[in-house]
Chains A and B, each alone.
Chain A
């Protein structure tokens, strides 16, 4: 995955966000110009399918259009990456579910889920948020380099080769760092009472 390098030829994030706030559709065009390559890379890392990635991209643009305003993101790239990751993971889960139980049973189960899963969903949502908070605190405590590796690997889902290339080090160094981060995370989560 590469960042857009022709930064000067693209509109600044502030101006794009202003266009969103003005409800100007040019905002989506400028977002596409600047971040299409990056967002497709994020989607591809998760869904591994170009058609799905394109659909995720469209969903991300719609998500951004619907969220700005009221949101005014500090970093548009980070904001878009979050939407894209959620969209792509949903797509990935949906694809997997269909592959696992590709029958009428799938439909019937999903119909049941609609009314029996409410309480569980609430609990899961709260637990997930707490876990996210804990992981966020952990990542925040990491040195810059390890934070970068963690987010690249587990949030953007970059390959080890891409990370090593970006950091200018060998793949074995990145692997070693990942092992170290995983061990630290395990200790951290255990200390917070999570069962792994």
Chain B
């Protein structure tokens, strides 16, 4: 069989085969086109997700790592009151706003005219005796605990951004900032939280509660507020 014969035979292929071929060709072109569109669709979707993801990184406010460590509740073992965001007592409500290495800021909704004070404990070496002592920074001026430790002016109280010697007596809404930088300087280590009478402890040193299982913390509520006599280890 010659090559020419074969070529001529192929040239004379039945028209139904060619029709089938061209129909298939048209389908292939259509499929290819739609495949291209699918690719564009998926690429657009992926691009949208990328933009959303990047936007989220920039838009979601950064929360310092220390904040989530502040647990809300108290441990049965120590009867210590770990305060996170809010503490409610018969004298009102104290809400946590912010804290840093040297201060804590709280919103105080005072409902009575009862006396409230704050105390922070630290541990350090007494230079006069060269022995380890407990230091107290407190707003409670009448406190007499000389045997227990050293009382100094390690903490400063600011009520509505004004330096104050005591918590406000009258009922009202106040922004309280307690600075403890001085106490920190004179002590080797600060206690885990600042104590506010009738409201418990507000954690300022989250490292101290590391290792405490958060499941063991009893959530704070009106009913679960522990008796302040039990919560205090100092008084």
- Identify the A interface with B (CB < 8 A): 3, 5, 73-75, 77-79, 81-82, 85-86, 89, 93, 124, 127-129, 131-136, 139-140, 144, 147-148, 151-152, 154-155, 166-168, 189, 194-196
B8 at the interface (CB under 8 A from A): yes
* Contact among B1, B13, B24, B33 for A155, CB-based, below 8 A: B13
Beyond A78-B21, A81-B22, list 11 extra A-B contacts (CB 8 Å): A79-B15, A128-B9, A132-B8, A134-B9, A136-B13, A144-B20, A155-B10, A155-B21, A167-B28, A168-B32, A195-B1
Within the complex, the shortest CB–CB distance from B39 to chain A, in Å, comes to 12
B16 surroundings in chain A (CB, below 8 A): 140
Residue in chain A with minimal CB distance to B26 = A3
Chain A: interface secondary structure? Answer: helix
B23 at the interface (CB under 8 A from A): yes
Identify which of residues 68-99 in chain B touch chain A, using a CB-to-CB cut-off of 8 Å: none
Within the complex, the shortest CB–CB distance from A90 to chain B, in Å, comes to 10
B142 at the interface (CB under 8 A from A): no
Within the complex, the shortest CB–CB distance from B38 to chain A, in Å, comes to 13
Do A151 and B13 touch (CB < 8 A)?
yes
* Contact among B8, B24, B25 for A128, CB-based, below 8 A: B8
Do B23 and A135 touch (CB < 8 A)?
no
Do B7 and A75 touch (CB < 8 A)?
no
Do A132 and B9 touch (CB < 8 A)?
yes
B161 at the interface (CB under 8 A from A): no
Identify which of residues 1-45 in chain B touch chain A, using a CB-to-CB cut-off of 8 Å: 1, 4-26, 28-29, 32-33, 35
A86 CA to B10 CA, complexed, in Å: 10
* Contact among B4, B10, B18 for A78, CB-based, below 8 A: B18
Do A136 and B4 touch (CB < 8 A)?
no
B15 surroundings in chain A (CB, below 8 A): 73-74, 78-79, 82
* Contact among B8, B14, B25 for A136, CB-based, below 8 A: B14
Do B12 and A128 touch (CB < 8 A)?
yes
Interface core residue of A73, A129, A132 (most chain B CB under 10 Å) = A132
| Subset of 22 A-B contacts with CB under 8 Å | A5-B29, A73-B15, A74-B15, A79-B15, A81-B18, A82-B18, A89-B11, A131-B1, A131-B5, A132-B9, A132-B14, A136-B17, A139-B17, A140-B16, A140-B17, A147-B24, A151-B13, A155-B13, A166-B28, A166-B29, A166-B32, A168-B32
A75 CA to B20 CA, complexed, in Å: 10
A196 surroundings in chain B (CB, below 8 A): 1
Do A127 and B5 touch (CB < 8 A)?
yes
Do A75 and B17 touch (CB < 8 A)?
no
Do A124 and B29 touch (CB < 8 A)?
no
A131 surroundings in chain B (CB, below 8 A): 1, 5-6, 9
B6 surroundings in chain A (CB, below 8 A): 131
Interface core residue of B5, B7, B12 (most chain A CB under 10 Å) = B12
Do B19 and A78 touch (CB < 8 A)?
yes
A196 CA to B1 CA, complexed, in Å: 6
A3 surroundings in chain B (CB, below 8 A): 25-26, 29
A103 CA to B6 CA, complexed, in Å: 28
